[in-house]
């Protein structure tokens, strides 16, 4: 197996996508934010899908941060192409009494995939949740940042867990 981001001199470089076909590309990723027992109850619930910390609305802020980060993935990850996203959504679900599950979906019609955009969106949304809640505890854990599925390129990937 060879790594696509290494040239014939074994040096890093951007993959040339000039000859690839333009196709519709989609990807979905997740991150899990786990809270110490009882911590989520310390946040005000301002609705079925929102939590309020002293910094403001936790989930809405995380959604905005995740979308903004996905749009800027090419600036954050050195060898990623800048991709004009057609759509990006972040969904944050409260899972039981101690977890938030973050999903990010990204879509573009382009020559290269959007899995890094989906992963970046999910990760930054999770980091934003941590930032919004860290005054209550630094024992919040972000885990399981992973690609769930992608389509439109050489290989489709579907959740296999």
Domains and CATH numbers, the chain: 23-151 (3.30.70.640)
pLDDT digits (tens, 9 = 90+) for 105-116: 999 999 998 999
Q: Which two tokens stand for residue 48?
A: 């079925």
| Residues with a known catalytic role | 131
Nearest alpha carbon to residue 35 among 145, 129, 153, 144:
129
CB 83 within 8 A of CB 24: no
Which tokens go with 24? Answer: 């519709």
What would the two tokens of residue 118 be?
């989906």
Pairwise CA distance, residues 83 & 136, whole Å: 37
Are 89 and 62 contacting, i.e. CB atoms less than 8 angstroms apart?
A: no
pLDDT tens track for 16-66: 788 888 999 999 999 999 999 999 888 878 877 789 998 999 999 999 999
Q: What is the pLDDT of residues 139-150, one digit of tens each?
A: 999 999 999 999
**Measured distance between the N- and C-terminal CA atoms of the chain, rounded to whole angstroms:** 24
Cβ(119)–Cβ(147) below 8 Å: yes
Q: Compute CA 4 distance to the chain's CA centroid, rounded to the nearest angstrom.
A: 22
User: Which pTM was predicted?
Assistant: 0.91
∠ at Cα 129 (95, 60), nearest 5°? Answer: 85
Q: Copy the structure tokens of residue 73.
A: 């993935």
């Amino acid at each position: 197996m060879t790594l696509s981001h290494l040239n014939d001199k074994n040096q890093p470089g951007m993959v040339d996508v000039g000859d690839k076909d333009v196709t519709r590309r989609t990807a979905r990723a997740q991150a899990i934010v786990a809270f110490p027992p009882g911590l989520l109850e310390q946040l005000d619930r301002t609705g079925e899908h929102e939590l309020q910390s002293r910094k403001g609305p936790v989930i809405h802020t995380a959604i905005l941060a995740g979308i903004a980060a996905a749009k800027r993935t090419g600036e954050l990850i050195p060898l990623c192409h800048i991709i004009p996203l057609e759509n990006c959504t972040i969904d944050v679900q409260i899972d039981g009494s101690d977890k938030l599950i973050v999903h990010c979906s990204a879509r573009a019609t382009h020559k290269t995939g959007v899995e890094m955009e989906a992963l970046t969106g999910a990760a930054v949304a999770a980091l934003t949740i941590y930032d919004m809640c860290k005054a209550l505890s630094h024992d919040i854990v972000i885990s399981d940042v992973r690609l769930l599925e992608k389509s439109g390129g050489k290989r489709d990937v579907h959740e296999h867990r």
